[in-house]
Amino acid sequence: MSNDHPKINFGKTGVLLINLGTPDSTKWLDIRKYLKEFLSDRRVIEVNPFLWKIILNLFILNLRPSKTAKAYKEIWMKKEDMSPLRYFTIMQTKKLLDKIGSKDIIVDYAMRYGNPSIKSKILKLHEAGCEKLIVLPLYPQYAAATTATVCDEVYRVLMEMRWQPSLQIIPHYESEPLYIKALSNSLKVKISELEWKPDLILASYHGIPQKYFDKGDPYHCYCHKTSRLLSETFKTVEIRTSFQSRFGPEAWLKPYTDVTLENLPKEGKKNIIVICPGFSSDCVETLEEISIQGKESFINSGGNNFDVVPCLNDSEDHINLLEQLTKKFL
């Protein structure tokens, strides 16, 4: 009787790195498809769903893809034919696999929006015999619009499964010593490369609407905690926190990065470094919004020198951090 039973893979552990997502290409339709999925998430846009659906489909998805496509074209990796975020997430996965992978441990990645989807990768791991699933959202600072929506999607996938794997979601790591050390080391490397001395280090995080904070989202506090811990390693250079990438007319967390960059030269801060601790991989927000638009704004406002610290990406320090976070639950 046992010989008639279909072969079932079991006994393995799957580690799934999950980042925000990326369009498949810089084509208008691919950008639109990605934006539609992203901006349809109720965790991201907390407004009347009926009203938002009209605004999104009639206006935003007809106007915004062209602007977004232009930004992606500025930073698209032509040789690899992919966005930097996808490239570095793939490299993080491969390097973490080299660290912890075995015949019983599989490491893979997914995107919350776009491809590869969370559902496709969870099902793939399940078919490979993963009875235990460890999910690592690549967001150091928890927010409902990032970490929580990853959890939502993971839960939705598991709700449809008859044989669910056990689940462990690795929590936010804004104050993990290895994370702070990695950020600190990246700053030291950047400063050692400069021929000028920075007057200020600006730690720029992705913003969220102020009303999300007012409702109890802890993201703002976690960002300031990271900046405070980082500043303890750079007591000779001021580190200031700001928030970027605001969208729409409502108030977001302040101070705004773009406004800060315009005002810093007026304060006599004409030589600055920007670091983006909340982004685990370089992406359109760091490479285009900060490195291109931000620099142009700062220089045009009277600044002299401007540089940006690369995100942790697939650096050795970052992979060591991901290994430590994961091994706690293996």
Residue 128 lies inside a defined structural domain of this protein:
yes
Residue 159 lies inside a defined structural domain of this protein:
yes
Could you read off the pLDDT of 207-228 as tens digits, one per residue?
Answer: 999 999 999 999 999 999 999 9
Same domain flag for 262 and 235: yes
DSSP state of 7: P
What pLDDT does 215 receive?
A: 98
Q: Supply the range of the domain harboring residue 283.
A: 177-308
**Count of structural domains within the chain:** 2
3-class SS of residue 22: strand
Side chain identity, residue 82: M
Residue 322 lies inside a defined structural domain of this protein:
yes
Residue 238 lies inside a defined structural domain of this protein:
yes
Same domain flag for 34 and 120: yes
| Short-list 278, 194, 200, CA closest to 244 | 278
3-class SS of residue 248: coil
3-class SS of residue 244: strand
Residue 140 lies inside a defined structural domain of this protein:
yes
Percent helix / strand / coil, the chain, rounded to 5: 50, 20, 35
Residue 3 lies inside a defined structural domain of this protein:
no
Same domain flag for 162 and 263: no
Same domain flag for 162 and 79: yes
Report the CATH number at residue 28.
3.40.50.1400
Same domain flag for 17 and 163: yes
Residue 6 lies inside a defined structural domain of this protein:
no
Same domain flag for 17 and 166: yes
**Token duo for residue 226:** 């990271």
Which regions of the chain does DSSP assign to beta strands (E)?
Answer: 12-22, 105-114, 130-137, 166-169, 200-206, 239-244, 271-275, 305-308
Same domain flag for 205 and 116: no
What pLDDT does 10 receive?
A: 85
Backbone phi, then psi, for 17, in 5-degree steps?
-80, 135
Rounded to two decimals, the pTM is 0.96
β-sheet with 305-308: strand ranges across? 239-244, 200-206, 271-275, 305-308
DSSP per residue, 268-323: T--EEEEE-TT-SS--HIIIIIIIIIIHHHHHHTT--EEEEPPP-TT-HHHHHHHH
Same domain flag for 125 and 188: no
Same domain flag for 295 and 323: no
* Partners of 114 in the β-ladder: 22
DSSP per residue, 56-83: IIIIIHHHHHHHHHHHHHHH-BTTTTB-
**Token duo for residue 66:** 């062209």
Same domain flag for 145 and 194: no
What pLDDT does 197 receive?
A: 97
* Partners of 110 in the β-ladder: 18
Residue 218 lies inside a defined structural domain of this protein:
yes
Q: ω before 116 within 30° of 0 (cis)?
A: yes
Same domain flag for 91 and 165: yes
CA–CA dist 278, 280 (Å, integer): 6
Same domain flag for 164 and 222: no
Per-residue pLDDT of the chain (330 residues; tens, 9 = 90+): 456 767 778 899 999 999 999 999 999 999 999 999 999 999 999 999 999 999 999 999 999 999 999 999 999 999 999 999 999 999 999 999 999 999 999 999 999 999 999 999 999 999 999 999 999 999 999 999 999 999 999 999 999 999 999 999 999 999 999 999 999 999 999 999 999 999 999 999 999 999 999 999 999 999 999 999 999 998 889 999 999 999 989 999 999 999 999 999 999 999 999 999 999 999 999 999 999 999 999 999 999 999 999 999 999 999 999 999 999 999
